[in-house]
Amino acid sequence: MTTVSHDWPSYIKRIAECASADALGLIEHELFGRKAGLLTLALKELGSLDADARRTAAMDLNQAKKTLTESIDAKRKELMSPSNDALKETDGIDITMQLPKKERGHLHLIPQFIREVEEVFGRMGFDTMSGPEIESEDMNFNMLNIPAEHPARDAQDTFWISNQQPFDKAQDRPVTSNQKLVLRTHTSPVQIRYMQSHKPPFRAIFPGKVYRKDADATHSPMFHQFEGLMIGKDINLANMKSVMITAIRELIDPNAEFRFRTGYFPFVEPGLEVDMRWQGEESESREGKWLEVVGCGLVHPNVLRNCNIDPEEWQGFAFGFGIERMIMIKHRIPDLRSFYEGDLRFLKQF
Ligand code: PHE
């Protein structure tokens, strides 16, 4: 019967004087702990009282419980408030403080687009491979059936790494003259690398940087392409057209307008070029309404032969997309140079 008449007001005083949330928690436990809390025990003891005593005691206890709970809640609120000095001294962390948001970067729009390309072609069953940006003259030209007099080799176009012949250490002599090095002028040499290391049938794409001596609003000395290659027993021009159209519709615009023209590339026969309608202001584009975005065609038998693939048994197509061109059309970007200037006002839009 003793606990029932505990000195509850002294607890109210202790609660009010509490300096930290920890101390408050201890008092709360002392009172309301499930096993030995004073109030918990007192409430239990009610059962052993006779009816009259129980009624008054119960009323007193419930009143005490209510007052104590309320003062604990009020104290806790006070201790947690950001303006509370005690909080700063004891708990140290102000959980209500607003910190400036950290800025997060993101991929540049070109690698972003390349990921989309890999995804779209991946769904059509295409593998991905990359090749070196410094290639031999042999890989960049000869193996692709590009004769020495082809304009793509012109000094206006190609960055030759050096006129000196590279030295073959193992053989202790200079490498033969067709091993002169160039910054690759297209991603087509990766076709050769792929065909030399894989057995048909296959389909694959090869994204990467390419280099040409060119600079204006729609040409840059370094730009990106992705090459594609699909070889099988009976792969034909209709298959190629359907892959081109699917890719352009998926990557740029489901309503894209394009046109196929014949075009000459020594490593395909027949060869085609695909133009897309330029959606920006006509005056913004040097080339008027159409921009060439793809070169493509059926792989030339000489190229297959160069890679030890029998053209009587295997055939297929190859294509090369200009990545910046595609993005320019997709987002109506008038000047190619914005891609490389590193201006955040431009880059943050993508
Ligand atoms: N390599 C060609 C270019 O850079 C594009 C191309 C690739 C054309 C594959 C036909 C087949 O212009």
Structure confidence by residue, pLDDT tens digits, 262-286:
999 999 999 999 988 866 665 555 5
Q: What one-letter code names the amino acid at 333?
A: I
Claim to verify: residue 171 and residue 78 sit in the same structural domain: no
Residue 261's Cβ-side half-sphere holds a number of Cα atoms within 13 Å equal to: 13
Q: Say if 1 falls within a structural domain.
A: no
The single-letter DSSP state of residue 185 is S
Q: What is the pTM of this model?
A: 0.68
Contact between residue 248 and residue 338 where contact means Cβ atoms under 8 Å apart: no
Between CA 165 and CA 183 the distance in angstroms is: 15
Q: Say if 101 falls within a structural domain.
A: no
Residue with CA nearest ligand 1 atom 4: 186
Contacts of 227 (CB under 8 A, 6+ apart): 186, 187, 188, 190, 191, 205, 206, 207, 318, 319, 320
Q: Which atom of ligand 1 is nearest to the CA of 299?
A: 11
Between CA 261 and CA 245 the distance in angstroms is: 14
Q: Which atom of ligand 1 is nearest to the CA of 210?
A: 4
Between CA 346 and CA 226 the distance in angstroms is: 24
Percent of the chain having pLDDT more than 70?
86
Between CA 35 and CA 281 the distance in angstroms is: 80
Residue 47: the pLDDT is: 84
Claim to verify: residue 17 and residue 160 sit in the same structural domain: no
Query: 297 in helix, strand or coil?
Result: strand
Q: Say if 135 falls within a structural domain.
A: yes
Claim to verify: residue 198 and residue 234 sit in the same structural domain: yes
Q: Say if 195 falls within a structural domain.
A: yes
Claim to verify: residue 13 and residue 52 sit in the same structural domain: yes
Q: Say if 102 falls within a structural domain.
A: no
Q: Stretch 196-203: mean pLDDT, rounded?
A: 96
Residue with CA nearest ligand 1 atom 9: 319
Claim to verify: residue 259 and residue 299 sit in the same structural domain: yes
Residues in the chain: 350
Q: Which residues of 116-145 are buried (b: 16+ CB within 10 A; e: fewer)?
A: ebbebbeeeebeebebeeebbbbbbbebbb
Q: Stretch 164-181: mean pLDDT, rounded?
A: 64
Claim to verify: residue 285 and residue 179 sit in the same structural domain: yes
Residue 1: the pLDDT is: 44
Q: Which domain holds residue 297?
A: 109-347
Contact between residue 114 and residue 251 where contact means Cβ atoms under 8 Å apart: no
Contact between residue 136 and residue 158 where contact means Cβ atoms under 8 Å apart: no
Centre of ligand 1 from the C-alpha of residue 295, in Å: 5
Ligand 1 shell residues, CB under 6 Å: 186, 188, 227, 265, 268, 271, 295-297, 318-320
For a mutational test of ligand 1's pocket, the pick from 144, 153, 267, 294, i.e. the residue with the most ligand atoms closer than 8 A to its C-beta, is 267
Q: Say if 309 falls within a structural domain.
A: yes
Residue with CA nearest ligand 1 atom 12: 295
Pick from 275, 273, 278: nearest CA to 262: 273
What confidence tens digit (pLDDT) does each residue in 296-342 have?
999 999 999 999 999 999 999 999 999 998 998 889 888 888 999 99
Centre of ligand 1 from the C-alpha of residue 154, in Å: 16
Claim to verify: residue 202 and residue 320 sit in the same structural domain: yes
193 vs 328, residue with greater confidence: 193
Contact between residue 250 and residue 256 where contact means Cβ atoms under 8 Å apart: no
Between CA 105 and CA 51 the distance in angstroms is: 73
Q: Stretch 65-71: mean pLDDT, rounded?
A: 91
What confidence tens digit (pLDDT) does each residue in 74-89 have?
988 888 876 766 555 5
Claim to verify: residue 61 and residue 143 sit in the same structural domain: no
Q: Stretch 151-171: mean pLDDT, rounded?
A: 69
Q: Say if 103 falls within a structural domain.
A: no
167 vs 207, residue with greater confidence: 207
Question: Residue 236 belongs to a domain with what CATH number?
Answer: 3.30.930.10
Claim to verify: residue 237 and residue 151 sit in the same structural domain: yes
Claim to verify: residue 84 and residue 120 sit in the same structural domain: no
Residue 215: the pLDDT is: 75
Alpha helices for the chain (secondary structure H): 8-17, 21-32, 38-45, 51-80, 85-90, 109-123, 137-140, 189-197, 237-251, 301-306, 323-331, 344-347
Contact between residue 192 and residue 306 where contact means Cβ atoms under 8 Å apart: yes
Q: How confident is the model at residue 174 (pLDDT cuts 50, 70, 90)?
A: low
Claim to verify: residue 86 and residue 135 sit in the same structural domain: no
Q: Which atom of ligand 1 is nearest to the CA of 187?
A: 1
Alpha helices for 290-332 (secondary structure H): 301-306, 323-331
Centre of ligand 1 from the C-alpha of residue 217, in Å: 21
Structural domain tally of the chain?
2
Residue 2: the pLDDT is: 47
Q: Say if 300 falls within a structural domain.
A: yes
Centre of ligand 1 from the C-alpha of residue 283, in Å: 27
